[in-house]
Structure 1
Amino acid sequence: MKRKGDILLQSEPFVHVLSHKQRGRRCDSCFKSGENLKRCTMCKVVRYCNAMCQKEDWTSHKGECPCLKRVFPDVPLDSVWLMLKLVLKQKAGDNGQSIKNDIGWRNFSDFKSHSEEIKCDQNRTEQLSKIVFTLRKLLGDSSLPPGDKLMETFGKMVINSFTVCDGELQPIGVAIYLSPSLLDHSCEPNAVVTFQGTKLTVRAIKDIPDPSPAN
C-alpha cells in the first residue's frame, strides 16, 4: 500500500534544456535562479551557479559546447537544443544507464518513436525539417545521423518530453526522463509530478493499494 504523500518515483533527466526565456536568469545545470551566474568561457551561452554545477554538467556540455560556439551569438531554440543533446548522446553510445536516482525501468532505446504517425503529420514533419536545418549548422552535414534515425529520435523526443516547472508551476525548461516516461495521463489521477530544479518526483495524492497478484 502506498499512502497519500508517499514518493513513488524520482529521477534526474536524461537530457534537459533551460527555457530560452529563462536564459541568463537560471543555472543551465540545476535550473536554480541566481545572480552572478558564471558563463562558459568557450561557448559564451550556458551559465552555472558555480564550479560544481559546471563540473556536473560537463559530460553533457562538452559535446554541445563547440556546436554552440560555432553559431554564437545565435542561440538554438529549445526544441533544436534538446534534439542536439539527444543526437550527441546517441553518437556517444549513452543510452541512459547511469542516470541518477532513476529506478531503471527504461533506457532511451526502449522509447517508442511513433515515426509512421509523425510522417503523416504535416506540422510535425515541417518542424523536423526546420530542426534538421539548424542541426546542420550546429554539427555539420557529415556529423548528422541518417534521416530515419533523426526521425526516430525526433519522435521519441516529442512523445516523451516533460515541461519542467518551478514551485509556482511556471515552465522553466524541457527534459527527457527515462523511467517516468512510462507514466500516462489519467482523468482520475492518483499521483502528481513535481520538480525540484531538474529532479522529477512522483508523489501519491491518494492511497494506492498494492496490485493484486497474477493468477
Structure 2
Amino acid sequence: MLTFGAIFEELELFNFKHYDLSIEQLIRIYGKILINSFAITDQNSGHVIGKALYLGASIFDHSCCPDLYYQFDGLKIYFIASRNICLQNLY
C-alpha cells in the first residue's frame, strides 16, 4: 500500500482524481506515464519542476547509453543527436 500511495500521489499531479478508475487502471496509467514522460527542469537550478507527455516523442525507448537528448523551448520538445544516427534500417 505504501508503493500505491506514492503512485497515487504522482497521479494526482495529472489530475486523475476526478475519474472513477479502478486500482488496476490507475497502476496501468501510472506505468505509461512513468515510461513515456519527460522531466521538465528549471533552467537555472536543474531541479525537476514538472512532467510532460508527448505522444510523438514517446516512441523513443529508454537507453542507458542514449543517442538522443531532449531540450524544451516553452511547450516544444527538441531532440538532439549525440552522434551520427543512421535511420535507413528502421523500416
TM-score (norm 2): 0.63
- CA distance in 1 between counterparts of 2:11 and 2:85 reads 44
Give the stretch that moved more between structures: 149-158 or 169-178. Answer: 169-178
Corresponding residue of 1:127: 6
State the Cα distance separating 1:130 from its structure 2 match.
5.0
User: Tell me, which stretches of 5 or more residues in structure 2 are unaligned?
Assistant: none
Corresponding residue of 2:77: 200
Residue by residue over 1:123-149, the C-alpha shift from the partner in whole angstroms, topping out at 9 and shown as x without a partner, is: 53232355689x79x53xxx4223322
Matches within 5 A, 1:2-151: 123-129=2-8, 139=18, 143-151=19-27
- CA distance in 1 between counterparts of 2:29 and 2:53 reads 12
Name whichever structure is richer in strand by fraction: 2
> What is the Cα-based RMSD across aligned positions, in Å?
3.3
Residue by residue over 1:165-203, the C-alpha shift from the partner in whole angstroms, topping out at 9 and shown as x without a partner, is: 24447233211122222322242x332111112211112
Residue by residue over 1:25-49, the C-alpha shift from the partner in whole angstroms, topping out at 9 and shown as x without a partner, is: xxxxxxxxxxxxxxxxxxxxxxxxx
Corresponding residue of 2:53: 176
If you compute each CA radius of gyration, which structure gives the higher value, 1 or 2? Answer: 1
Secondary structure, aligned partner of 1:174: strand
- CA distance in 2 between counterparts of 1:145 and 1:123 reads 19
Equivalenced residue count is: 87
- CA distance in 1 between counterparts of 2:87 and 2:9 reads 46
Corresponding residue of 2:87: 210
